[in-house]
Amino acid sequence: MTLEPAEPAGPSGSAGPSEPDDPHSDLLAVLPRLTQLSAAFTKGRLTERAAEAAGLALDRPAMGVLVTLRTADQPLRIGEIADRMQVVGPHVTRQVQALEKRGLVRRVADPHDRRASLIEPTAAGMEAANRYVTSLLGWFAEALADWPRQDREDLTRLLNRLADDVTARLARFDAEE
């Protein structure tokens, strides 16, 4: 399946964005905003700065693995980390190697399957992950310090639902092909 071929948004030759009475006019704003936020986080190098504040010299993908392990609260296989991060295996392999080299994670043998190993944070890794998350959330909390509690709760709730709905719809999308 593909996206609908769809009629032009307005009469041919209409040059502007959606009219005010367009039923989708509110959505027109959501997509660019999500793009803007995503780009801002990347370009602002928030992740890298929070890592530096935690005393680490690691890039975003490596921090993602470390935080995934911290959140899991139990050793994970490479494949399980990849699933949770929604990336492919080889990508995780490299990040884990970088974390290992810095003594932030270690591998332990999987007692039930000698093909796999389990990855767990070291004490240093866990402490660094805590410092990192605190630093990142602290920055974010400051940015939202002026927000009414109700708005913060609404944002969290709506964003959760949006992510779920979009993910589910994309999954069906792929399945139909």
Partner DNA sequence: TATTGTTATACTCTATAACTATA
Partner DNA sequence: TATAGTTATAGAGTATAACAATA
C-alpha–C-alpha distance, residues 94 and 155, integer Å: 35
- How many chain residues are in contact with a second copy, going by CB under 8 A? 82
Is residue 59 a contact point for DNA (CB under 7 A)?
A: yes
Binding partner of residue 54 among a second copy, DNA, none, CB cut-off 5 to 8 Å per kind: a second copy
Instruction: Considering only residues 33 through 72, tell me which ones interact with a second copy, judged by CB under 8 A.
Output: 33-34, 36-41, 43-44, 46, 49-50, 52-55, 70-71
Q: Show Cβ contacts of residue 110 under 8 Å, excluding neighbours closer than 6 positions.
A: 77, 116, 117, 118
What are the backbone angles phi and psi of residue 77, rounded to the nearest 5°?
-75, 160
3-state SS class at 118: strand
Q: Least distance (Å) from DNA to the CB of residue 166?
A: 16
Q: Which of 2, 12, 74, 86 binds DNA (CB under 7 A)?
A: 86
CB-CB contact of 66 with 121 (8 Å): yes
By the criterion CB under 7 A, which residues form the site for DNA? 39, 43, 47, 59-61, 64, 77-80, 86-94, 96-97, 110, 113-117
